[in-house]
Amino acid sequence: MNPDALELAFLYEISSLTWTGSEVDFFDEIVEKAVRLSGAQRVALALYADTGKATCYTWGFGQNKGRVPKGQLKQNQPSGNVYFKELGSPPLGALYLEKNENFSDDERRLLDVFSGRLSNILQLHHWMEKSERLRERFRLVLENTPMVGVLSFDRQGMILHYNREAQQIFGWDVPPKSREWLVQIKPAADFQKFVAQVWETGQVVDPGEWQIQTPKGASRWVLLTLIPVKQGKKVEEVFCMVIDITERKQMEEELKRLSIFDSLTGLYNRNHFEQKIRQLDKDGVRPVSVIVCDVDGLKLVNDCLGHRQGDELLKQAATLIREVFPKEEAFRVGGDEFAVVLPEKNRESALEARSALMAAQEKYNKDHTVIPLSISVGVGVAESSRKSVYEAYKQADDEMYRDKLQRCAKGGYDIGRSLLASLFRKDPGMEGHVTRVKKLAWRLGKAAGLSADEIDKLLLLAEVHDIGKVGLPDRILRQDEPLAKEEEEEVKRHCEVGYRIARCSTELAPVAEPILQHHEWWNGQGYPQGLRGEEIHLHSRILAIVDAYDAMTSNRPGRKAMPREKAMSELKQRAGTQFDPYLVEVFLKLLQETS
């Protein structure tokens, strides 16, 4: 073959070399070419890593493998049977060739081209590896970044990359293959403009709050920023980074709500009331009427029936106010105090509203609750700018207080009586029982030698002794099926509840102790305190006998009345255990005399 043609062929072959995919295969190709194109009998290739470590591939050293003579590892010699060249600057490797005769000048020239080509390949490979490592790191970070959704898109809005978090935030099963995802971000029109601006300016924008609507209709708040990526001066790709801040927003809303609303009743709170009246003054709105309402007896309900019942009462009051004043702003301004602000309403209108509220209260008590609702109301008006709305509120508050005092003085409200009335409404049979028990109690009281005053108290006791049952569910009150153990315990508590109610009532306070003791037993095995004998109040001992006798001799749900003789026999049997034996004897004698 023509030497020039041969050289040209070799030059083509050398300059066409590329990276083969692995260092081992690359070295093998170098060996094949070095042997064929230069007659090399030994080849070594050192590859330097970024870490400073070198990997050395050798071929043809036979049993001298790895022992490349150090003296031969120097820069390219002008003559000789060794060719050595460092590859790249800074060096990425080195090439060593050896044969059994000297390399000619032409061969060295070709080998220089060969080395140059290897240098370029190594340099490119080095950069590709680096680039791949960076790419892989980026991919791992992108894929696994918690809480931050990342996606990128092109000018047409097509998604190029996305991570799991973005997929979750946007609610995709699979990312859309069109730009439709852009309208998920609301307000959509604003976002489109925002995106267009980023493409145009190529500027990173500060994070902002947006809403995302998922394909399934859920709405999320996100903190979103757009980051344009340029190729030269032109924006090629935009990254969208989103963080789901829905929970934070919900908390903010909740805090805001709590700062304005009363959590128990749902009305506006005191804080908002004061802001409102200040604003009305500032805006110069006149006239402004203020209605102040106060729930009567709340403390008594809390103390007697528990705070849960008290809270329920407040909520009922708030509901009533809401119904009567659907359009106006209503506020809870104190523990048991409410206010309604009526802008541009004069006194006359306010008084009409007051009447409506009272009428609603009446209707409410008739229809609903075990625990009746009683509200004291006052009205105040700021007719002109000379009087502030706050002063109108104070006026209303004072009027409300006067209303409360008047109602108390009239005796218009007594919680004890109210509860008793409620109890009788719930259990109609109870009224009859109470009447009979009163009669029997009177007779036994007289026979036992009680004074008139004592007999009055005894009769009062007979009337109200079961007032503690007012909070019991109807099912338990009716006693038409056996009670579970917890229900029995609940029934037993009616003595203590009745005691507390009686203590809160002026009228009933004298019979509070007997109410508490009316289920004690003579032998100490009663409840709630386990009193025995004459530790038990006389009135309670009397009541226990007559109450039991009436219970036995009356028809009850699920049980017929016992014959008189049998009831008497029962009393006799239990004398000394459940009942006071002396009083039983007196009572039985009375009954015999009657028959």
Partner 1 sequence: MHVQVGVGYSLLPNSQEAAKEAARLAVAQSGPPVLTFLFTTERYNQTEILEAVIAETGTPKLVGASGAGIVTVEGIKKHGVGVVTIAGEGITAETALVEMLPDRADETGRKLAEKLLRGSAPDEGTVFVFPDGLSGNIARMLRGIYDVLGPQFKYAGGGTGDNMRFLRTYQMTETGVASGAVAAALVAGCSFATGIGHGWEPFGSPLLITRARGKIVFEIDEQPAFQVYSRRLEGITSEEFPFCAVRYPLGIPDITGKFIIRDPFKLGADGSIEFVTEVPPRAVAYLMRYTRVENLLQTALGATMQAQKTVRTPQFALIFNCVSRAELMGEHANREVEIIRNTLGGLPMAGFLTFGEVGSYGSGVPLFHNKTFLIAVGGTSLL
Q: Is 425 in the site for partner 1 (CB under 8 A)?
A: no
Q: Is 60 in the site for partner 1 (CB under 8 A)?
A: yes
Half-sphere exposure of 360 (CA within 13 A, CB side): 18
CB–CB of 78/95 below 8 Å?
A: no
Query: Given the complex with partner 1, which of 30 and 324 has the nearer CB atom?
Result: 30
Largest CA distance in the chain: 156
Partner residues linked to 332 by β-bridges = 338
Least distance in angstroms from the C-beta of 37 to partner 1:
6
Query: Given the complex with partner 1, which of 55 and 144 has the nearer CB atom?
Result: 55
Query: Given the complex with partner 1, which of 40 and 462 has the nearer CB atom?
Result: 40
With CB under 8 A as the contact rule, the residue among 19, 61, 239, 401 that binds partner 1 is: 61
Measured from the Cβ of residue 583, the count of other Cβ atoms closer than 10 Å reads 21
104-123 mask for partner 1 (x: CB under 8 A)?
Answer: ---x----------------
- Alpha carbons 556 and 429: distance in angstroms, whole number: 9
Least distance in angstroms from the C-beta of 36 to partner 1:
5
With CB under 8 A as the contact rule, the residue among 50, 54, 55, 65 that binds partner 1 is: 65
Query: Given the complex with partner 1, which of 46 and 371 has the nearer CB atom?
Result: 46
Query: Given the complex with partner 1, which of 5 and 452 has the nearer CB atom?
Result: 5
DSSP string, 113-182: HHHHHHHHHHHHHHHHHHHHHHHHHHHHHHHH-SSEEEEEE-TT--EEEE-HHHHHHHT-SS--SSGGGG
Q: Is 171 in the site for partner 1 (CB under 8 A)?
A: no
By C-alpha distance, which of 360, 394, 358, 399 is closest to 378?
399
Run of H or E including 272: helix 270-283
Q: Is 5 in the site for partner 1 (CB under 8 A)?
A: yes
Least distance in angstroms from the C-beta of 122 to partner 1:
17
Copy the structure tokens of residue 167.
């997929």
Least distance in angstroms from the C-beta of 80 to partner 1:
16
- Near partner 1 by CB under 8 A, which window of 12-20, 127-135, 477-485, 494-502? 12-20
Could you tell me how many residues of this chain bind partner 1 (CB under 8 A)?
36
- Alpha carbons 92 and 151: distance in angstroms, whole number: 37
With CB under 8 A as the contact rule, the residue among 30, 45, 48, 59 that binds partner 1 is: 59
With CB under 8 A as the contact rule, the residue among 26, 44, 46, 58 that binds partner 1 is: 58
Partner residues linked to 44 by β-bridges = 58, 96
Q: Which residue intervals of 336-414 are DSSP H helices?
A: 347-367, 389-409
Q: Is 64 in the site for partner 1 (CB under 8 A)?
A: yes
With CB under 8 A as the contact rule, the residue among 19, 23, 39, 503 that binds partner 1 is: 39
Q: Is 80 in the site for partner 1 (CB under 8 A)?
A: no
CA distances from 518 to 7, 196, 540, 586 (A): 126, 84, 4, 19
Q: Is 9 in the site for partner 1 (CB under 8 A)?
A: yes
Q: Which residue intervals of 410-559 are DSSP H helices?
A: 415-426, 428-447, 452-464, 474-478, 485-492, 494-503, 512-517, 538-553
With CB under 8 A as the contact rule, the residue among 30, 37, 151, 415 that binds partner 1 is: 37
Least distance in angstroms from the C-beta of 105 to partner 1:
14
DSSP string, 556-576: BTTBPPPPHHHHHHHHHHHBT
Q: Which residues bind partner 1 (CB under 8 A)?
A: 1, 3, 5-6, 8-10, 12-13, 16-18, 28-29, 31-33, 35-42, 58-65, 99-100, 107
